[in-house]
Amino acid sequence: MRRLAGISEACALAIVLGVVALCAFHPLYAVDFFWHLELGQLIARTHTIPSTNLFSAAEPARPYVQFNWLWELAAAAIVNGFGLRGVRVAQATLMAGTFAALFALARARSPRRELAWLVTGLGFVWFEDRFQERPASLVLAFSVGLAATITAIGLVAVLARRAFGRLSLNGPVIRALPAVSAVLILAVGVVITAKALPGVL
């Protein structure tokens, strides 16, 4: 009976992931896709990330921080290797894989499969507008990855509880760690701010 339920769940998940992939495998309609693509090709040619808004008709020399350069570089590599259809395939694969990971994570965290289906359905509703060939399509993937990482850290901490129980956490060095880490973070923030101010002022 349990094996039959597992097979039914796997088949249902396959159907859901097929629907997700089909929704993601649509014609390229993101209005700024080719803007991102051109930037990716430029980065690939020059091996540098532009620091100005090169494609702005009003202020092309204005400083511009390019946060999405890795996605743009990957998109350019896919187009160069497989054409525009390759981007659609990659997008469908990415979204289907992300929802498979979301379901697996929810299923592992909850003994009730209904809750896992609910989380997956809500993810589809909330992120359906991100099914575009844009860097924003990675938001859900990064969110699932972060949740999986936090879960793994918690699992490791639980499994290592006995080992941690034998450690002494009352020494002066241990008590000083929070203050030292706070000072280090503050110092890094001051350095970053000092370097950024000349470009803003």
Percentage of the chain beyond pLDDT 70 is 88
For residues 186 and 95, membership in a common domain is answered with no
For residues 105 and 174, membership in a common domain is answered with no
pLDDT in tens, 98-145: 889 888 888 887 777 888 888 888 888 888 777 777 787 777 788 888
Secondary structure (DSSP) of the chain = -HHHHHHHHHHHHHHHHHHHHHHHS-----TTHHHHHHHHHHHHHHSS--SB-TT-SS-TTSB---TTHHHHHHHHHHHHHHHHHHHHHHHHHHHHHHHHHHHHHHHHH-S-HHHHHHHHHHHHHHHGGG-SSSGGGGHHHHHHHHHHHHHHHHHHHHHTHHHHHTS---SHHHHHHHHHHHHHHHHHHHHHHHHHHHHH-
pLDDT in tens, 66-82: 888 888 899 999 999 99
pLDDT (0 to 100) of residue 25: 85
Residue 201 has pLDDT above 70, yes or no: no
For residues 122 and 176, membership in a common domain is answered with no
For residues 129 and 200, membership in a common domain is answered with no
Banded pLDDT at 50 (limits 50, 70, 90): confident
For residues 52 and 123, membership in a common domain is answered with yes
For residues 138 and 49, membership in a common domain is answered with yes
* Across 153-175, average pLDDT: 67
Q: Note the pTM of the prediction, 2 decimals.
A: 0.67
For residues 93 and 174, membership in a common domain is answered with no
For residues 154 and 176, membership in a common domain is answered with no
Determine the structural domain holding residue 201 and report its residue range.
Answer: 170-201
